[in-house]
Chains A and B, each alone.
Chain A
Amino acid sequence: MTDPKPARRAEALRLHRKLLPIWSSDQRFRGWLTTNNNNDIGGLFLIVATIFFVIGGILAMLIRAQLASPGSAFMGPEAYNQVFTMHGTVMMFLFAIPFFEAMAVLLLPGMLGTRDLAYPRLGAYGLWVYIFGGSAVIIAMLLGLSPDGGWFMYPPLSSSAFSPGIGPDVWLLGITSIEVSAIAAAVEVVVTVLRYRAAGMSLARMPIFAWYILVVAVMILTAFPPMILGSLLLEVERAFGWPFFQTENGGDALLWQHLFWLFGHPEVYIIFLPAAGMIATILPVMARTRLLGYAWVVAAVVALALLSFGLWVHHMFTTGIPHMGLAFFSAASTLVAVPTAVMIFSWIGTLWQGKPRLELPMLWILGFFATFVIGGLTGVMLAIVPFNWQVHDTHFVVAHLHYVLIGGYVFPMIAAVYYFLPLLTGHSRFFKLGEIAFWITVPAFHLTFLAMHWAGILGQRRRTWTYDAGSGWEWINLTASIGAFAMAIGFALVIGDVVVNTLVARKARRNPWGAGTLEWATMLPSPVYGLASIPVIAGRYPLDDDPQLALRIARGEGFLADTSRNRRETLIVSTTGGEPAQVAVLPGNSVLPFILAVVTSTSFLAPLVGAYLLSGAALIGVVVVALIWAWGLGSKADEGPVDAGRGVTLPLSTEVPDPPGWWGSLMLLLADSVHFGSLLFGYAFLWTVAPNWPPPSYLAPGAVDAVLAGAGAVALLAGPRWAARSILKGAGPWPGLVLAVLGAVALAGAATGIILARPDPAGHAYDATLWLLAGHVGLHVAITAIMLGYLTARVLAGYTSPRRIGDARIVQLWADFTALTGLVALAAAWLPGVFG
């Protein structure tokens, strides 16, 4: 008998050589523009986010240089106001969110035991939109055109009357485009976690990071839309004078604060939770044990996420809301500390039951504990209403938020970068610069921000560009500045250390930390295709359960090891149990995401220079490119169930009623419905409390409008259903499609009636709101109409069949949303006129 080992190794190598050409990106330079592999996209994301971190850090140094001494002549208020606004904006939007998205894009497929994310092209699109939007914001800053009203942009200060320049527009349009990118990533993450996993990975067996990032992605889908709506309102007020925030014309400055913090508070947890997920992943490995209380932690994450949506008013304790209202939010703000405590004690308990080793990632996690616990405690202080009245808008708050964000996000993320360095680069750390950097950064951080609390207590307001000698704040600010510069050196050392170790360190061995989760089942660095075959797992720590698993995956003993179909395939499982359900065919390299990002960004950024025509043209470009993109997917013939390996036959994801596109649409529509809900909230808010309401007159609906709306909605609900059923039966879908188009036209007619009846949206906030409600209907009718036209073309070209019903089902989903929210929008528009 021959030794089986070399033969088996040869088997793994053979599979590796077959998978490589299928999954590789173009090796020429253009490969950077056409790649959609998660390793490439995630890596680029990570590098760009780090560059923005450096830019944000330089801005922070400018602030600390200015405040180091009283009466400093280094900057005047014009420059200082731009610098602190941009520091906050860059760190929150251009660094924090993209950085964890990058980590998720890089690590999630491996952790879940799949080969790539659900929508590789969408990921690439999100990356490019982010790069373009972020760069535009930075270029504007270099030209001296930054916003200067603080990163939360309160109107009326940010309205055209008090900020006539393009600064706020840069902020609103740039940030919105980045939010679009974040929503794209969130859709991708949710669908990936819910459906793209290893066989047998039930919800209860998911790695803990998957729970965290799933919850975070859903939070992005539900927290960003209010902000996008707020930006839309402020931008149309600035551009066209629709008075949403102008008191004299029925607007209300407080509406912005509500919408902003409806986003802004969950945002804090959106940033914290991915870092917490990293801790929950890394800390048990460092302690050579397993996470204590997995179910407790999952429950705490879900609870924290939902509770965080009930805290927004605690940023508005000084706006004059009656005390009972404040009490609700004060109570909710203290309550949110409970799930946080559950997590903290889960981690300390894990260390307690384990045998911790003080490797560099663990060191940074200890830095996290020492910092975040203080941030949490000052957070509880700020939740106490009377104390908040005193320290709100002082340096105390600035210190608190840096404790939470740097302690709760940056430190754990550094731990994560070091922990995953072998996986991402194939190198294990060689130079011991990291420990030095740690011992500079963390003490310097505490020096800076402990001092800053005290400045706030002594009454130093945030956002003041200087202070007088004799104020008693001199030594505090000098201390804070010295600490800040030391901290900057520390962070620079961390970045330098990571870069050097990436480029020149020694090769790492497999699974260097002895982790139990699937991302470590590959060779290092993780190859483009991820896993050579999709494993079957039976527990939360499959590599612990079966030490040979990595080898068996590489030899192709899992699912989808057969490369003969010569395309990128991965497994789709049932949401709960993780049973294999479908075979997903992922798209290959394409330049379309890049092109779509170019036209999207053009349509967003062109208004900055007043090029509305170009913006409109680019918007048409978006539609055209999106259609070309969608057209390229799918097939003209039924392929039938395919051999997925291990003796299992599964349908292709293009030949099921719920293809990935359907799930993605569902998530996108979740975000859309929150956006719509925010609009209704804004409407109700203005009606209830805005000073100059009621408007001079309410819109009186006619019977024709009501009939159009009702009949249109019914037709739009019924038509696509009918069409889908016809396709399922192999019949022509034409009657259903015609009915759907008629329904869309009728709804559009009803919406047009509102526009015609109220021709002046700049007159009163009520009229402006009516236009937005009508605009919501119009936009969604247009989207649905385009999709109906697309479906018609697909049917004619032979892309549909009783098996390939996915396109029709996706159109049906969008039509349902249009019909239902359209009806609600129109009813809301008419309601005050009927009763008032």
Chain B
Amino acid sequence: MTTLIGLSGCKGEVSILDPAGSVARDIAGLWWVLLLGAVVIFVAVMALLAWAMVRPQGRTSERVWFWGLGLAFPMLVLSALTVHGLVVGERLLARSAEGVVTVRAEARQWAWSFGYADAPGRVTEDLLHIPAGRPVDVEIGSVDVVHSFWVPRLAGKLDAIPGRINVLHLQADRPGDYAGVGAEFSGYGYLDHVFTVRAHDPAAWAAFLAETP
């Protein structure tokens, strides 16, 4: 357990700005767009406000303030943003594709069990093995309370809800260990509800599947 905490604590280990897979990279790109837009809009609004405070009194027209700034400006920005977000979202969804590897994640207070469609019967605790460079669908479930499966460097989070299976799509570009955390508050042991995702190269993945349980 201690080593796992150590792993999840390393610098950038759970940073969404340090993506190591296509899904997380798309979202990190989205963040930079959002941040840039927000900074530009904030500065513009503050400049307008400052100007309004210091300029001499004068008449003004509702057309500019409401039709222009109140309606046209936000609707233009927001419709573009909404559509962009939905396009990115649609691209990230789990769907049947060539070579998808399916694994299962089962959350409980406060541990994770992982199973593998390609190796029936194999169960690993707090360590999820996946192949690098291939799309992976994680079937997420819970046996007690609501949890959430989150590997920040690979993909966004998806909840583990009792009685349901949610499927998360992710991919790791390169072999390596990636920190994962339970990301929905789950009580006393929430802090240590962590796991590791280990991405293997093709040979190591084949070897992992071939191991006898």
Direct contact of A and B (CB under 8 A): yes
**A292-B62 contact in complex given A341-B74, A464-B191, C-beta closer than 8 Å:** yes
A150 CA to B146 CA in the complex, in Å? 13
B211 in contact (CB, < 8 A): no
Residues of B within 8 A of A393 (CB): 148, 157, 183-185
With known contacts A345-B70, A386-B88, A459-B13, A157–B185 Cβ distance under 8 A: yes
- Interface 9-residue window, one of A220-228, A315-323, A802-810: A315-323
The yes or no answer to B123 lying at the interface (CB within 8 A) is no
| A650-704 with Cβ < 8 A to chain B | 690-692
Contacts of A163 in B (CB 8 A): 187
Which residues of chain A are within 8 angstroms of B52 by Cβ–Cβ distance?
Answer: 348-349, 351-352, 356
Cα of A685 to Cα of B89 in the assembled complex, Å:
25
Residue of A nearest to B28 (CB): A390
Give the B interface residue count (CB, 8 A).
Answer: 83
A contact residues around B31 at 8 Å (CB): 381, 387, 390, 457
Q: Note all chain B residues with C-beta closer than 8 A to A463.
A: 185, 190
Q: Are A391's CB and B16's CB within 8 A?
A: yes
Chain B, residue nearest A393 (CB): B183
- Which chain B positions have C-beta within 8 A of A392? 156-157, 183
Asked whether any CB of chain B lies closer than 8 Å to the CB of A156, the reply is yes
Chain B nearest CB, measured from A255 CB (Å): 11
Partner-binding segment picked from B42-50, B114-122, B127-135, B201-209 = B42-50
Chain B hits for A149, CB < 8 A: 185, 187
| A320, B164: Cβ atoms closer than 8 Å | yes
Choose one: A156, A341, A472, A690; the contact of B144 (CB below 8 Å): A156
Whether A373 contacts B188 by the Cβ 8 Å rule is no
Taken residue by residue from 793 to 815, chain A's Cβ proximity to chain B (1 for < 8 Å, 0 otherwise) reads as 00000000000000000000000
Min C-beta distance of A151 to chain B, whole Å: 10
Interfacial residues of chain A within 456-495, with CB under 8 A of chain B in the complex: 457-472
Specify the chain A residue showing the minimal Cβ separation from B157: A318
* Residues of chain B lying within 8 A (CB to CB) of residue A377: 37-38, 41-42
How many whole Å from B22's CB to the nearest CB in chain A? 12
| Contact bitstring A498-514, B, C-beta under 8 A = 1, else 0 | 00000000000000000
Asked whether any CB of chain A lies closer than 8 Å to the CB of B82, the reply is yes
Segment at the interface with B among A9-17, A326-334, A712-720:
A326-334
**B78 touching A252, Cβ below 8 Å:** no
A384-B187 in contact (CB<8A): no
Is B177 positioned at the interface, with any CB of A under 8 Å from its CB? no
Minimum CB–CB distance for B144 against chain A, Å: 7
Q: B197: CB under 8 A from chain A?
A: no
Asked if A338 meets B53 with Cβ closer than 8 Å, knowing A154-B146, A458-B17, A471-B11, the reply is no
Please count the residue pairs between chain A and chain B whose beta carbons lie under 8 angstroms apart in the complex: 254
B15 contacts partner chain A, Cβ-Cβ < 8 Å: yes
**Contact between A366 and B89 (Cβ–Cβ < 8 Å)?**
no
Residue among A156, A352, A457 facing the most chain B CB atoms (10 A cut-off): A352
Q: Which residue of B lies closest to A336 (CB)?
A: B78
**Does B93 count as interface, using CB distance less than 8 angstroms?**
yes
User: Which residues does chain A contribute within 8 Å of B74, judged by CB atoms?
Assistant: 337-338, 341
Cβ < 8 Å to B, chain A residues 338-359 = 338, 341-342, 344-346, 348-349, 351-356, 358
Q: Does B212 contact A (CB under 8 A)?
A: no
* Residue numbers in A under 8 Å from B26 (CB-CB): 386
A471 to B7, CA, bound (A): 9
Q: Pick the contact of B159: A319, A335, A352, A356 (CB < 8 A).
A: A319
Q: Is the CB of A468 within 8 A of B45?
A: no
Question: Do residues A293 and B166 form an inter-chain contact, with CB atoms below 8 A?
Answer: no
Which chain B residues border A248 with CB–CB below 8 Å? 163
Q: Which residues of B contact A349 (CB under 8 A)?
A: 52, 60, 62, 64-66, 69
Q: How many angstroms from the CA of A148 to the CA of B146 in the assembled complex?
A: 15
Q: Report B162 CB to chain A, min CB distance, Å.
A: 5
State the CA gap A253–B163 with chains docked (Å).
9
Interface positions of A from 556 to 584, Cβ below 8 Å from B: none
Query: Measured between C-beta atoms, what is the minimum distance from B60 to chain A in Å?
Result: 4
Question: Which residues of B pack against A, CB within 8 Å?
Answer: 5-6, 9-17, 24, 26-27, 30-31, 34, 37-38, 41-42, 45-46, 48-49, 51-53, 55-60, 62, 64-66, 69-71, 73-75, 78-79, 81-82, 84-86, 88-90, 92-93, 109, 144-146, 148, 152, 155-159, 161-164, 166-167, 181, 183-191
Since A78-B188, A374-B42 are in contact, a sample of 18 more A-B pairs with Cβ atoms closer than 8 Å, ordered by chain A residue number, is: A81-B187, A150-B185, A162-B109, A253-B146, A318-B148, A351-B52, A352-B65, A356-B53, A358-B53, A377-B42, A384-B34, A384-B82, A386-B85, A389-B156, A390-B24, A391-B16, A457-B31, A468-B9
Using CB atoms and an 8 Å cutoff, list the residues of chain A in contact with chain B. 77-78, 81, 148-150, 154-157, 162-163, 247-248, 252-254, 289, 292-293, 296, 300, 318-320, 323, 326-327, 330-331, 334-335, 337-338, 341-342, 344-346, 348-349, 351-356, 358, 366, 369-370, 373-374, 377-378, 380-381, 383-394, 457-472, 690-692
25 contacts between A and B (CB under 8 A): A150-B185, A154-B185, A253-B162, A253-B163, A292-B65, A318-B156, A319-B159, A320-B158, A320-B166, A323-B93, A337-B78, A338-B75, A341-B73, A349-B52, A349-B66, A349-B69, A351-B53, A352-B55, A373-B41, A384-B30, A390-B152, A392-B156, A457-B15, A470-B9, A691-B163
